[in-house]
Structures are given as C-alpha cells and as structure tokens.
C-alpha cells in the first residue's frame, strides 16, 4: 500500500505538497465522517505534506482505545505517529 501511495504522489507532478495538504484538510473536515484511512498511518504524511512535528501534533488530536488498566478497564489515550487513522 505504501508503494502505491508514494507512486501516486511522486510520479504525478500535479500533486504538489500544497495540494496534498489541502486534500487532507478536506478529508478531515468532510470525508472522514463516512470514509476511513484505515490503511494509512500518520507517519505516511511525514515528508509528503507535513513535517514530523506537525504529524505528532496531528496524531495527538486522535484518541485510541488502550488497556486494560490495573482495574481491567479499557481507556483512551492520544494516538502516536506509528498508528493508523481510525
């Protein structure tokens, strides 16, 4: 999947950094309510449309279920760069 993603971005010059970044913004604001990026990790954005620091901040905005804790309960925590969009 990563190879296909990179091929799309780097072998088609019309897709510049600005356009990819804008497309991701549209996805987040409109498309993500119905469609997922479950095969794409946050790290796939590094160097393509976002810096590593921007991706860390972006990932931290998402919460993932983790656990169980010492009481056997599941809990939410901020996502990391290596996690996939959910």
pLDDT (tens digit per residue) in 24-44: 899 999 999 999 888 889 999
Tally Cβ neighbours within 10 Å of residue 23.
13
Our count of domains for the chain comes to 1
* Residues 6+ positions from 73 with CB-CB distance below 8 Å: 67
- Give domain status of residue 85, yes or no: no
Nearest alpha-carbon partner for 18 in 53, 49, 54, 51: 49
In a domain, 62, yes or no: yes
- Residue-number span of the structural domain to which 70 is assigned: 2-78
Is pTM, for the whole model, over 0.85? no
Q: Is residue 37 part of a domain?
A: yes
CA–CA dist 25, 57 (Å, integer): 14
32-61 mean pLDDT: 91
For residue 63, give the CATH number of its domain: 1.10.760.10
pLDDT of residue 58: 94
Residue 6 pLDDT greater than 90, yes or no? no
State the DSSP code for 72.
S
């Amino acid at each position: 999947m990563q190879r296909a993603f990179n091929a799309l971005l780097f072998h088609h010059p019309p897709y510049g950094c600005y356009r990819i970044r804008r497309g991701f913004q549209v996805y987040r604001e409109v498309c993500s309510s119905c469609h997922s990026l479950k095969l794409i990790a946050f790290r796939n954005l590094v160097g393509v449309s976002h810096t590593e620091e921007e991706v860390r901040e972006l990932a931290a905005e998402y919460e993932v279920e983790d656990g169980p804790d010492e009481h056997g309960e599941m809990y939410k925590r901020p996502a990391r760069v290596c996690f996939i969009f959910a």
